[in-house]
């Protein structure tokens, strides 16, 4: 079984959404983790938009990358440019992937506009996660 880490700055939105979808698409072919180079707590709007797609991430926690020092990862996916640049070194044969998703938490405007941006980013991440699982976990 492969170990996959999704890394983001605060481990609050994008990496949490990606973790949820990768768990769904990977099934028992991989163990999925998410972490940040900081921890900001799981964003309630991320929990809400995932619930709309019938995925419960309400029990996820915001974890710091240092918590996973003992785990050997097969794949590390960075989901924003900041964490890609600050990504620590991982020993062993680790395949790194990067996709810079917009940060929906930085959206301003009406509550409806903010939630629509969370939904838009959710769909981008869902598409990426599905393709990743098909390409790398078969």
**What is residue 85's predicted lDDT score, i.e. its pLDDT?**
56
Would you state the pLDDT for residue 93?
A: 81
CA atoms within 13 A on the CB side of 10: 11
What is the count of structural domains for the chain? 1
CATH of the domain at 32: 3.40.50.2300
DSSP for the chain reads: -EEEEEEESSSSSHHHHHHHHHHHHHGGGEEEEEEESS-----HHHHHHHHHTT---TT----BGGGGTT---SEEEE-SHHHHHHPPP--SS-EEEE-----GGG--S-HHHHHHHHHHHHHHHHHHHHHHHHHH--
For the stretch 84-102, pLDDT in tens is 555 555 656 889 999 999 9
End-to-end Cα separation, the chain, in angstroms? 11
Q: How many CB atoms lie within 10 A of CB 113?
A: 10
Residues designated as active site: 8, 80, 87
Query: CA angle at residue 17 from 15 to 19, to 5 degrees?
Result: 65
Print pLDDT tens along the chain (138 aa): 999 999 998 899 999 999 999 999 999 999 999 999 889 899 999 999 999 999 999 999 999 999 998 999 999 999 987 655 555 556 568 899 999 999 999 999 999 999 999 999 999 999 999 999 999 997
Identify the domain containing residue 104 by its residue range. Answer: 2-136
């Amino acid at each position: 079984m492969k170990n996959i880490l999704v890394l983001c700055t605060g481990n609050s939105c994008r990496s949490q959404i990606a973790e949820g979808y990768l768990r769904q698409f990977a099934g028992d072919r991989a163990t999925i983790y998410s972490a940040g180079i900081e921890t900001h707590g799981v964003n309630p709007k991320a929990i809400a938009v995932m619930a709309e797609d019938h995925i419960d991430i309400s029990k996820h926690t915001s974890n710091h990358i240092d918590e996973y020092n003992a785990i050997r990862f097969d794949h590390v996916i960075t989901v924003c440019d900041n964490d890609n640049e600050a990504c620590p070194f991982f020993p062993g044969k680790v395949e790194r992937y990067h996709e810079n998703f917009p940060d929906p938490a930085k959206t301003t405007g009406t509550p409806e506009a903010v939630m629509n941006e969370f939904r838009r980013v959710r769909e981008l991440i869902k598409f990426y996660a599905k393709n990743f699982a098909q390409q790398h976990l078969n």
